[in-house]
Amino acid sequence: MQAQGKDRSNPFVNVVRLLAAGTAGGVLTAAIALPAVGGVGLTAKSTTESLSLRPEQLDEPPLPERTEIFDSEGKQIAQFYYQNRESVKIEQIAPVMLTAIISIEDFRFYEHGAIDIEGTARALAKNVTGGGVVQGGSSITQQYVKLVQFNKAKTKKEALAAIAPTVSRKLDELRYAMAIEAKYTKNQILEKYLNISYFGAGAYGIQAAAKRFFGKPAAKLDLSEAATLAGAVQNPVRTDPTLGKTARDQLINRRNTVLDRMAELGKITVAEAAAAKKEKLGFKGTQIPGGCEESKFPYFCLYVKHEILTNPEFGATPDDREKLLQRGGLRVKTTLDPKMQKAAEQAIAKRVSIKDKPVAAQAMIVPGTGEIKAMAASRKFGDNKKKNETLINLAADGKHGGGVGFQQGSTAKAFTLAAALENGWKIDDGNSTGASYDIPTNALSPFRDCKGNRVGETHQVRNSSEGGGGFKTLRTGTEGSVNTFFMKLEEAVGLCKVVKVAEKLGIKRADGGKLQEVPTFTLGVNEMDPVTVSNAFAVFAARGEYCRPMAITEIRDRNGKITSSKPKCKQVMDEKVADAVNEVMSGVFTRGTMTEVGGIGRDAAGKTGTTDGYTAAWFAGYTPNLASAVSVGDPRGAFEHDLTNVTIGGQFYSYVYGATISGRIWKDSMIQALKGVEAPSFTPYDRDRFGGCTKSCAPKPPKKDKDRDRDRGDGPWGNPDDEGPLDIWDTGEDNGGPITPGR
């Protein structure tokens, strides 16, 4: 009777009883006489107050979930997160974990409604006498409400308000809790609570905590581990085991408190509690890497990251896309092929060291789909300059985390070749060139940009090794990569025509700027990246079909909805024109600038590329089922740090040509990447349409003087300094001194 009288005189107990009674009906109105409490900072007054509590629906935004990135075989290669969380169903949580958390946080959880009468009464009385809200007494449902409010806060002010020690906030919390209890089952509430809670050490939710603390899923937690995590919830910062011995000791104390409470409630025996207390903390500190810095394939990861961040398909605004990546809980399947990636990495590492200032970068793309199968570079990804690391995606353009790229050099001649074939030239059509080509000034220039303006340069283009001129055909001029031949060919075809062909193949500057429509366009003065160049050459392999570079094939959202990405392709070139390009560039391996390196044992075509002053070196090539481009240059500044008199991969080079390093990397990587893959052939070119020559045929050779030839032992062209249509070796940009494609 005395106890009842005491309860009756405590207004806070009466409040709780009335609140509890009201929750059953969903509405509560109570007149309560509260004693005067001076200076407590609460809403307690000496007058009569009226409380009107109705259930209020809580806005429950989706929890921040980590996004996981997978290769084409389903193996995780990266993850992004705002909070390291992996939500699970209650069935995926060990029963002992459920018992432990209920025992220490809300042992009558399954018996009461939105509010625990005894616990809250005790807390309210303590709060008033203590001068503020100093004791919780919240049910698990109320704690869940508070965590939802805290997590959805957009500002620091909102976050502080979500946990403010005020009675008004607690009453709001109760209103939401009443609605939550009506909306969900007890098990659903417990599941939500365990998924939203922070356990310390950067682990949000029980699954991430189990993996972070003990290296196992929540389903496999044992008694000691469950008690540890249950104890961590109360103050996860103070008991964070990564903060040192003091924090670990406090965590052990909390674990033991939980074990004692479980024994007190009869959930475990005293002996079981004692045995669990003897166990070591067992914190494994399993790493939870996030971002591309921690990925095994950082450059490909960076490409995928920027594809999501810059593509409107993933959100209307940059902020929307950032939130989707960091919080969306996506499972992203990509095009990355582990075998091809390994082939690229090994081929690069064989010839370029991670310590070298010049870097090699490579991309591999499937013709006809645009799928990026590999993206590799010689440097490690990171921000440690002392270790020669880089944060630039060396294989991609600026839009995908790359830099300004390198001038593509003579690989650009392929676009002039294609433009000529589109204009009706035949493979044996050509022109006669000298050892040099003088570009006239604007007023006299035969070159016009795509706005119709005359463009010129006071510049002289020369062939390598100061080689002579002579008549070159589309075939021989390409095989030998003859600079002066291509200048005259671009003049005849039209600069704008060449630019338009390049653009429809997807060519764009790495820095996102406008292509430089200058006479030396054909010699590759625009800066490119391996993905762009590889994808452009893939158009030839796909018989004129352009496909947008593609890194993502499928996205599964947090609700299991799957969105598949299909190749975005269109025919941009006549199939037969592409066949003719393939015919011509196949000769680069057998009679041209890659002869010394050789082919790969299957149909392949390609083009070497060395830039003005040896500032960069390229090789771009393809088979019918895989295209690839390799660049080598110095990211500190290609013109200030050229590729002359340099040591790369432990080997000294006086000059680095397109075939020297890039061509060999391309060959080694392609052989390994295509090992065991079918070897289709190129479609034979249309001889009737492109065979032979028309009005631009080679001049007839001079009459032979058989006696003079016999006496001098000369070949069929007489004087050995004269060049016939197949004499290409002294004019190719990869067979002698520097070329001058202009700036």
CA distance 542 to 391: 33
Determine which of 45-54, 55-64, 375-384, 428-437 has the lowest per-residue pLDDT on average.
Answer: 45-54
What digits encode the pLDDT tens for the residues 262-272? 999 999 999 99
CA distance 86 to 205: 7
How many other C-beta atoms are found inside a 10 Å radius of the C-beta of residue 496?
18
Gyration radius of the chain's alpha carbons: 36
Nearest to 135 by CA among 127, 143, 147: 127
pLDDT tens track for 372-403:
999 999 999 988 888 999 999 999 999 999 98
Residue of higher predicted confidence among 366 and 442: 366
Same topology, domains 1-54+104-196 and 406-712? Answer is no
What's the chain's average pLDDT? 86
Residue 279 CA, chain-centre distance (Å), reads 42
pLDDT digits (tens, 9 = 90+) for 472-500: 999 999 999 999 999 999 999 999 999 99
pLDDT over 80 (residue 555): yes
Residues present in the chain in total: 743
| Angle of helix 270-277 versus helix 245-264 axis, rounded to 10 | 170
What whole-number distance in Å separates Cα of residue 711 and Cα of residue 714? 8
Higher pLDDT residue, 135 or 531?
A: 531
C-alpha span between 449 and 326 (Å, rounded):
44
Q: What is the pLDDT of residue 721?
A: 30
CA atoms 221, 224, 230, 231: torsion sign: negative
Model confidence at 719: pLDDT above 60: no
The pLDDT value given to residue 124: 59
Using H for helix, E for strand and C for coil, what is the string for 215-276?
CCCHHHCCHHHHHHHHHHCCCCCCCCHHHCHHHHHHHHHHHHHHHHHHHHCCCCCHHHHHHH
> Residue 336 — left, alpha, or beta (φ > 0 → left; ψ -120 to 50 → alpha)?
beta
C-alpha distances (whole Å) from 455 to each of 482, 496, 519, 536 are 22, 11, 7, 25
Tell me if 143 sits within 8 A of 104, measured CB to CB: no
Tracing tokens 């003859």 back to the chain, one arrives at: 482
Residue 708 vs residue 637, higher pLDDT: 637
How is 89-158 classified by DSSP, letter by letter?
-GGGS-HHHHHHHHHHH-TTTTTSSSS-HHHHHHHHHHHHHHTS-------HHHHHHHHHHHHT--SHHH
**Distance separating alpha carbons of residues 743 and 737, to the nearest angstrom:** 18
User: Which range scores top for mean pLDDT: 310-314, 531-535, 720-724?
Assistant: 531-535
* pLDDT confidence of residue 135: 40
Query: What pLDDT was estimated at residue 500?
Result: 98
Whether the per-residue pLDDT at 287 is higher than 90: the answer is: no
Name the more confident of 24 and 273. 273
- CATH code assigned to 201-285: 1.10.3810.10
Does the pLDDT of residue 432 top 50, yes or no?
yes
Averaged over 14-43, what is the pLDDT? 40
pLDDT the model gives residue 121: 63
**DSSP tag of 550:** B
Instruction: State whether residue 467 is helix, strand or coil.
Output: coil
What's the pLDDT score for residue 127? 53
For residues 102-128, give the mean pLDDT.
Answer: 77
Write the CB contacts of 146 (distance below 8 Å, at least 6 apart in sequence).
Answer: 138, 162, 163, 173
- Quickly count: other Cβ atoms within 10 Å of residue 508's Cβ: 19
The single-letter DSSP state of residue 462 is: E
Does residue 10 carry a pLDDT above 60? no
Contact 233, 199 (CB under 8 A): yes
Q: Which single residue is written with the structure tokens 């004499």?
A: 727
User: Tokens representing 734?
Assistant: 């990869």
How is domain 1-54+104-196 classified at the CATH fold level?
Penicillin binding protein transpeptidase fold (1.10.3810)
Model pLDDT, residue 586: 98
Cβ atoms within 10 Å of 414's Cβ, excluding its own: 30
* Amino acid found at 726: L
For domain 406-712, the question of CATH label 3.40.50.620 is answered with no
Alpha helices in 131-166 (DSSP H): 140-151, 156-162
Between 541 and 383, the higher pLDDT residue = 541
Whether the predicted pLDDT of 366 surpasses 60: yes
Six token digits for residue 267 = 């959930």
Predicted confidence band of residue 162 (pLDDT cuts 50, 70, 90): confident
- 285 is written with which tokens? 């500190």
In angstroms, the CA 281 to CA 214 distance is 10
DSSP 585-649: HHHHHHTSTTTTT---SS--EEEEEE-GGG-EEEEEEEETTEEEEEEEE-TT-TTTS-SEEEEET
> What ranges do the domains of the chain cover?
1-54+104-196, 201-285, 406-712
Q: Average pLDDT of 2-8?
A: 40
The larger pLDDT score, comparing residue 465 to residue 31, is at 465
Residue 313: which pLDDT band, with cuts at 50, 70 and 90? confident
Q: What is the DSSP string of 65-91?
A: B-EEEE-TTS-EEEEE-SSEE----GG
Please tell me the predicted confidence (pLDDT) of residue 79.
93
What is the pLDDT at residue 706? 54
pLDDT-based confidence at 468, cuts 50/70/90? low
